[in-house]
Amino acid sequence: MEITEILRHGIVTEKATRLQNENNQYTFKVALTANKIEIRKAVEQMFHVRVVKVNTMRMPGKSRMLRRRGGRTPHELPAREWKKAIVTLAPGESIDILKA
């Protein structure tokens, strides 16, 4: 699997920004099939930093409601589950692209 397939994009939220400032941790949306070793190698190759630790979690998708003319009809669309990785970098390292 290629680097661009493993790392989808960085996540920049209030919580992710707080993790960057306090713990030197960066948050990424990654492929569902990627494991911690692949994520570590992808971050190290793409941003030229040293990764200390990788935490991953699967985020559940949300069910959707489809509205039709003449009434509301609940219709289950497939949930879009995704995977999030929180990467801890070595002290003194940073990723300038994701700085908020």
Its pTM surpasses 0.95: no
> How open is the CA angle 68-69-74, to the nearest 5 degrees?
25
**For residue 98, what pLDDT is reported?**
75
Helix, strand, coil percentages in the chain from 3-state DSSP, rounded to 5: 30, 35, 40
> Using CA atoms, how far apart are residues 100 and 96, in angstroms rounded to an integer?
9
Per-residue pLDDT of the chain (100 residues; tens, 9 = 90+): 888 899 999 999 999 999 999 999 999 999 999 999 999 999 999 999 999 999 999 999 876 666 666 555 555 556 789 999 999 999 999 998 877 6
Domain-embedded: residue 41: yes
**For residue 73, what pLDDT is reported?**
55
Domain-embedded: residue 61: yes
**For residue 97, what pLDDT is reported?**
83
| Domain count along the chain | 1
Give the domain CATH number at 30.
3.30.70.330
Domain-embedded: residue 99: no
Domain-embedded: residue 65: yes
